[in-house]
Structure 1
Amino acid sequence: MKKKIVVALLLSLSVLAAGCSSDKKTADTSTQAATEAASATSEAGSEKASETKEGTEKTSENATEATSETQKQTERAKYEALDYVTLGEYKGLEVTLETEEVTDEEINEQIKSTVTQQNKMEEVKDGTVQDGDIVNIDFEGKVDGEAVEGATDKGYELTIGSNAFIEGFEEGLIGVKSGENKDLNLKFPDSYQKEELQGKDVVFSVTVNSIKRLPEITDELVKQISDAKTVDEYKEQVKATLMQQKAQSQRTAEINDLISKVYSNSKINDYPKELVDQNVQSMKTYYESYAKQSDQSLEEFLQANMQMSEDDFMKKAEETVKQGLVQEMLLKAIAEKEKITISDQEYKDGLTKYSKDYGFESEDEFLKQYGKDIIELSLIQDKVVEFLLENAKVTNEEARVTEAATEKTTEKETGKEGSTEETTEAGSDKTTEKTSDKATEKTTEKTTEKSE
């Protein structure tokens, strides 16, 4: 559960920075993610600490329980978002979506992934490594005869052609037999993440332990890995799944784009102090529980694991909490302005859906974890997102390009028409001038003759 909440917080923070996810749950409940972020800021902070401390799984569980108890005992501070937010334009926002088709290559890659996961790859005993094979290898990288830290591993599963290693590594294994050793004389790229290795020559000593290859996709194999009966039927199933994933990803992109535009058009004047203080304290309590498990004070724990003082931590915690509230405040402000609420039935249905989506054993368990206020806020934000989608001007990328090309052609044609008109007018003016001159000359001649 902790992991899901952390992912939710990361999503809420990335929305305004143009992040995107293809996960169904995040696509359908992007506003819910922001709400969870606000209620579980402390749990998100745990992820960083757990990464920097060995053997923290038990500690993490204890800390999570401690924080959950703190959250259960504290009622979430209420606020009116319009007291802090000046809304700009949020109706009729333009969103352009790219048209994404499912390719045969994507279908084949998904089939290969499924075959691999279900351990149906065929082991190659007599042949050599080919592009697309999965090889099990031992390797060691050396620069100037010295082993490179992080460039050694045993039993590593590598897909040839995945570009997981530096240029030349995977290509260099093509043609090697199972059980053979090969030295690869390569060079770290100039843009390599470790500056001290950038552009340096490196020798990788590699042993190919085994080679696995995608077998021929037959009806018999398909029956083993799916409920389809034929290859064609299975490919259609895979295609449908990929199309659904892309549609969900597109929906997420649309939501993120809309919220980004709402953010750009609006202004956050201030933040609800009571709620900010509450979430900062919750984060502090969480880290204190970590420190306690390590028999350290909070200051000692922060210095050892995050290289910061308690004052710096509190400042950073406040910044993080405020960031996590931005999306919630914007959507809540729209809800207040548009008088968007939820009925008792909508609340009941939402609680049921959330409980199932997030893997809780019961609705009561979910309610106990988050509380009614959080669930209601999340459901309202879901409705606000639907409101934004319904009032948006969505343009398909392909249609937009076609429209732009049409406009360009029209402009050219208009330009030609304008040029023709100008030429006609100019010619007309000149003809008029000539006719006028001749008429004047004749009149003058006649007048002169009469005078004479």
Structure 2
Amino acid sequence: MQVTETLNEGLKRGYAITLTADELDAKVKEKLADAQPDIEMKGFRKGKVPMALLKKRFGQQLLGESMQEAIDGAMNKHFEETGDRPALQPQVKMTNEDWKEGEDVKVEMQYEKLPDVPEVDFTDLEIERLVVPADDAAVDDALKSLAENAQSFEARAKTAKAKDGDQVVIDFVGKLDGEPFEGGTAEDYPLVLGSGSFIPGFEEQLEGVKTGEEKSVEVTFPEDYGAENLAGKPVVFDVTVKEVKKPVAAEIDDELAKKYGAEDLEALKGQIRERLEAEYRGAARQVLKRNLLDRLDQKVSFDLPPSLVDAEAKQIAHQLYHEEHPEDHGHDHGEITPSEEHVKLAERRVRLGLLLAEVGNKAEVQVTDAEMTQAIMQQARQYPGQERAFFDFVRQNPQMQQQLRAPIFEDKVVDLIVEQAKVTDKEVSKDDLQKAVEALDEEEA
């Protein structure tokens, strides 16, 4: 078999592969010889069918199979000898499309090879890590929020008007075309105004009511409401206000702590402090990772496969289009041409992706089964009641597995690089950390 180079420009490679008729015939005969001992045919004992008859009977069937195996074998041998790693699946096509049996098979193979990623010394990288202590003020703010969530309600004066955040205890009867409808009646219902628990427009019309007041509330059910007989229909609720109550935050004491599963107030404060510090560390890591990637993007340069950059740029453009046009749920918007900014961002992502992959592979970074299981469980929580189905879907979908594995691998490689870099801790306020995180979102946009 002959393999001749036809293209060598940058990362692009092209080869002409010639499989001679004699080589192909030998491959077919080899397959027939391997199968001969097990073949039975009328008039012959098992394993004694003549080769000429076997070739006449099965030759055409084995021809295409032998051709594909020979070409695949030549490609694999080529990649082993050259060390090339194609960025995408190589393009392979026959150049003599009018091929007939007995002729040589001529194939053209083209691909873009992955670049040689240079060795990088990470020990001279200087990066800053933001550190935010969970001070007493932050803990007190969190305690106040917990107390508000554990609030109770106390009766207002009978002349007081209900306002947003108040609880109104009401009886109501819903009527469609003057007749009560099923599920539209309740007594002593405690409704917190502004909670959004009723259909749009209902709670707003009860702001300003007083204890003992009767009011007709006119609303229209949403078009996508679950009950078809009510969807999009205007209705009237006859409402009687039995009591108006104001919210009262719970006392910040040991009893509040026990409501949240802590032994006492000091123990609750300790739990809050740990949670806040974990949140701060997570946010600070986002900033650290971005700064590290920025430094690596400036530090490392090498040729990029155009096909990978083009695919990434199109994906970025497509994603941003849908973010800017949330009303367009389909994909019939035609081709979206990436801008120069999209291409620039794509080049950064491809470059850093190849670099991190190379560093991780050389360091033999692995994503464990336990880490994958945890990632799947986190995703499965988005589908309550369907967790098992989601698990099965991921097991049967290699592409989905890769989507879950990739960010875990990347984070482990980033940690590996951070361990080698010169990291300086800088204590900042919670507000400064928040601004740094918000700046990341602005840069990404």
Higher helix share: 1
- Greater percentage in strand: 2
**TM-score between the two structures when normalised by the length of structure 1:** 0.41
Structure-2-length-normalised TM-score: 0.42
Which structure's relative contact order is higher, taking Cα pairs within 8 Å and 6+ residues apart?
Answer: 1
